Chain A
Amino acid sequence: MARPAGHASFAMRLGHYGLWAVTLLILFFLILPILIIVPLSFSAGTFLTFPLPGLSLRWYQEFFSSGPWQLALRNSLIVASATTVLATVLGTLAALGMTRARLPAPTLLMGLIVSPMVVPLVIVAVGVYFAYAPFGLTGSLLGLTLAHTVLAVPFVVITVSATLQGFDPNQIRAGASLGAPPATVFFRIVLPLILPGVISGALFAFVTSFDEVVVALFLTGPAERTLPRQMFNGIRENISPIIAAAASMLILLSVLLLTVLELLRRRNERLRGIKA
């Protein structure tokens, strides 16, 4: 490539640095809320302003000693765990099925399965609110779990399908032809290969449920209040640093999740790298 004239190179360099500056600014915009909310949670004062009057853990203490927040945390953990189990099992089975043979109307099928990701949450919420009420599923953690599973399942199907796409079906045949019973084939060959996808899917499912607030607004009463539902009330009424503390813990959860996902991705890449 011929070196451009001095004039153009200056303009190009300017463009180059300009682009970098813009990119970093936008990335800063993306990370800004997180940068702001975490320090505020360690404030010793009662107002959400800088500079901090002093550092303390009082809001974390308050979070862990407050009855409603503890109940909310517990409910969220129960619902998210149950959702994860249910969504991972259903989603993994379906992903295996869809790659096993060509089913009728595959686009429609996949469209249906992923549609909970795009259908407005309020519509899902109102729908399940009307439909679950006659069965006593409103105001119950079971009802919330059933609805959250609907929302979480697409993530499992998508991640597991993605892992299965690089999956060579001859490996199953090889296993079967060597005399392994199907269960052994599944647990020894299929599962280890798709495991990163299954785990990613499970993590997505967990977070989907753990962060979900709209359906929770419609389906939960005071005894089933979840963490996001509790935060929603707090933001409405009085944004105190206890919200910032709860938020910081949710951010920590996202960081953990992201780390695990990144490790899984690397492991997966490494495995495929060796295969290639």
Chain B
Amino acid sequence: MAAPAVGSGGAALTGRSLQRQLQRSNRLRRLQAAALVAPLLLYLLLFFLWPIAGMLWRSIDNPELRQVMPQTASLIQGWEGQDLPDEAVLASFAAELRQSYQDKTLAVAAKRLAYESPGFRSLMFAAARALPETPEGSWRATLTGLDPKWGEPLTWAIIQRAAAPWTPIYLLAAIDHRLDANGGIVAAPADQAIYLGIFLRTFWIALVVTVLCLLLGYPVAYQLAALPPRQSNLLLILVLLPFWTSLLVRTAAWVVLLQREGVINDLLIKLGLIGEPLQLVYNRFGVYVAMTHILLPFMILPLYSVMRGLPPHYMRAAASLGAGPVRAFWRVYLPQTVPGIGAGCLLVFILAIGYYITPALIGGANDQMVSYFVAFFTNQTINWGMASALGAVLLLATLLLFALYARLVGIDRLKLG
């Protein structure tokens, strides 16, 4: 495209120097372009990619024991797993156990060990309280005297594993698995194996919401696209206004609407349609309604933009060839809107699987999605490894879907409003 513009340069330029000049100017432009994009890239690297990479790292990071008991953590790596670790390791363990109890850092290590075996917290604290300064005989005998568990190789195997630089336990737990005594991967016990179910629930809620959005969004987009621009722009405001209204505002409004003594129940009772108020909120129904409401514009807008671009004469041609309206719609119109359907559905689905606020405020305990548990482990139990592992799996799912979106729809189609 640049050729004709430079072509006017005149006959003084030979072909070769022209080419060189063109190359130079292209290079310059690329440099300028890179310089313009660089600040944003640098910014995203520092304040977005780096934090996310940090989160991913935390899903395998294993720092607790190495921080609290550095010497034991390095010594125990040499243990072969036969019998008990030798006396030097046990002595170091005893010293660091007592020290960390005094420094009040023991809880961090105990909590980490309890992830692998729940009894560990009390085991560690009981030992720390009762441990003498010098061994009675050997440390081996002293520890085993406090609790026979200290005489079991399994106890030390868990400590050895917790002292390694990284651990798979969080990622395994996120897919309902764990390490057994020998370090083999086995299914998690039933009362802990909940995360696959939660991922499944997350995808299921997202799917239902996507389908509902499609069912509700398609006729609206169709109708809007069929109207003259002036009218459709007016009605489009009804789509865009909720779209740009705060998510919290809409969530709050749905709570008000759906409560037991809320607007909808009041109305239904006054109309005599129901005698007793219905349970519409703090359950799955409420979550579906509110999420569909919030995500519906993301379906309508791409559908609308595809339908707007469709030439109307195809439908007319189909009708004139004798196809009934239903057949014409089904065979001619619908196939042409498939790109819009794909774009809308993928976008709604991608956004839905990450939802947190709406289910948290409108759902019950078993309507919470993966994001809720990421927040729960981050803020409530401070099990940051688990939060990161669940986050990593959720991120992976999102990125795969996003890549699919980029491939099928194209990123430049991601326009909002």
Chain A residues in contact with chain B, CB under 8 A? 1-2, 8, 12, 15, 19-20, 22-23, 26-27, 29-34, 36-37, 40, 48-50, 90-91, 93-94, 96-98, 100-103, 107, 109-132, 146-147, 149-150, 153, 155, 157-158, 161-162, 170, 173, 204, 207, 210-211, 213-214, 217-218, 228, 231-232, 235-236, 239, 243-244, 247, 250-251, 254-255, 257-258, 261-262
CB of A258 to closest CB in B, whole Å: 6
B138 within 8 A of A: no
A170 vs B1: C-alpha distance in the bound complex, in angstroms?
A: 11
A119 B398 Cβ-Cβ under 8 A: yes
CB of A126 to closest CB in B, whole Å: 5
A27 B54 Cβ-Cβ under 8 A: no
A31 B256 Cβ-Cβ under 8 A: no
B52 A149 Cβ-Cβ under 8 A: no
28 inter-chain pairs at a CB distance below 8 angstroms, sorted by A residue, are A15-B325, A30-B242, A30-B293, A30-B297, A33-B245, A90-B39, A94-B39, A97-B38, A98-B33, A112-B41, A116-B44, A119-B354, A119-B395, A120-B355, A120-B395, A123-B391, A123-B394, A126-B55, A126-B375, A126-B388, A130-B51, A130-B54, A213-B248, A235-B251, A235-B252, A247-B248, A247-B253, A251-B245
Residues of B within 8 A of A40 (CB): 256
Residues of B within 8 A of A251 (CB): 245-246, 249
A214 B34 Cβ-Cβ under 8 A: no
CB of A1 to closest CB in B, whole Å: 6
B254 within 8 A of A: yes
| CB-nearest residue of chain B to A173 | B5
B320 A2 Cβ-Cβ under 8 A: yes
A40 vs B242: C-alpha distance in the bound complex, in angstroms?
A: 17
Q: Which one of B29, B220, B325, B416 lies within 8 Å of A26 (CB-CB)?
A: B220
A33 B374 Cβ-Cβ under 8 A: no
CB of B342 to closest CB in A, whole Å: 15
With A158-B414, A261-B417 known as contacts, the answer to whether A228 contacts B248 (CB < 8 A) is: yes
Residues of B within 8 A of A262 (CB): 237
A36 B247 Cβ-Cβ under 8 A: no
A23 B223 Cβ-Cβ under 8 A: yes
A207 vs B244: C-alpha distance in the bound complex, in angstroms?
A: 8
B402 within 8 A of A: yes
B395 A130 Cβ-Cβ under 8 A: no
Contacts A126-B387, A239-B252 supplied; 15 other A-B pairs, CB < 8 Å = A30-B242, A34-B241, A94-B41, A109-B41, A110-B412, A112-B41, A115-B399, A118-B398, A130-B55, A130-B384, A131-B51, A157-B40, A218-B378, A244-B252, A258-B241
* Residues 342-368 of B contacting A (Cβ, < 8 Å): 350-351, 353-357, 361
A255 vs B242: C-alpha distance in the bound complex, in angstroms?
A: 10
| CB-nearest residue of chain A to B296 | A30
Most buried by B among A37, A102, A244: A37
A94 B411 Cβ-Cβ under 8 A: no
CB of A197 to closest CB in B, whole Å: 12
CB of A262 to closest CB in B, whole Å: 8
With A94-B40, A114-B411, A207-B244 known as contacts, the answer to whether A155 contacts B416 (CB < 8 A) is: yes
A150 vs B261: C-alpha distance in the bound complex, in angstroms?
A: 41
Residues of A within 8 A of B391 (CB): 120, 122-123, 126-127
CB of B410 to closest CB in A, whole Å: 8
Encode contact with A along B212-246: 1 for CB under 8 Å, 0 otherwise: 00001101101110000000000101111110111
A153 vs B266: C-alpha distance in the bound complex, in angstroms?
A: 44
Q: Which one of A207, A213, A261 lies within 8 Å of B357 (CB-CB)?
A: A213
B266 A100 Cβ-Cβ under 8 A: no
CB of A97 to closest CB in B, whole Å: 3
Residues of B within 8 A of A158 (CB): 414-416
B190 within 8 A of A: no
Residues of B within 8 A of A112 (CB): 41, 44, 49
Chain B residues in contact with chain A, CB under 8 A? 5, 26, 29-30, 32-41, 43-44, 47-52, 54-55, 58, 216-217, 219-220, 222-224, 235, 237-242, 244-257, 261-263, 266, 293, 296-297, 316, 319-320, 324-325, 350-351, 353-357, 361, 371, 374-375, 378-379, 384, 387-388, 391, 394-395, 398-399, 402-403, 405-406, 411-412, 414-417
A36 B320 Cβ-Cβ under 8 A: no
With A90-B43, A247-B252 known as contacts, the answer to whether A122 contacts B356 (CB < 8 A) is: yes
A31 vs B250: C-alpha distance in the bound complex, in angstroms?
A: 10
Residues of A within 8 A of B297 (CB): 30
A2 vs B297: C-alpha distance in the bound complex, in angstroms?
A: 37
Q: Ordered nearest first, which 5 A-B pairs have the shortest CB separation?
A: A120-B354, A97-B36, A33-B253, A127-B51, A131-B51
A34 B354 Cβ-Cβ under 8 A: no
A258 vs B26: C-alpha distance in the bound complex, in angstroms?
A: 40
CB of A2 to closest CB in B, whole Å: 7
With A124-B51, A127-B51, A132-B51 known as contacts, the answer to whether A250 contacts B245 (CB < 8 A) is: yes
CB of A214 to closest CB in B, whole Å: 6
With A19-B222, A100-B32, A122-B371 known as contacts, the answer to whether A239 contacts B256 (CB < 8 A) is: yes
B293 A118 Cβ-Cβ under 8 A: no
CB of B40 to closest CB in A, whole Å: 4
| CB-nearest residue of chain A to B322 | A2
B253 A34 Cβ-Cβ under 8 A: yes
CB of B329 to closest CB in A, whole Å: 10
CB of A91 to closest CB in B, whole Å: 7
Residues of B within 8 A of A96 (CB): 36
A213 vs B371: C-alpha distance in the bound complex, in angstroms?
A: 14
A31 vs B411: C-alpha distance in the bound complex, in angstroms?
A: 29
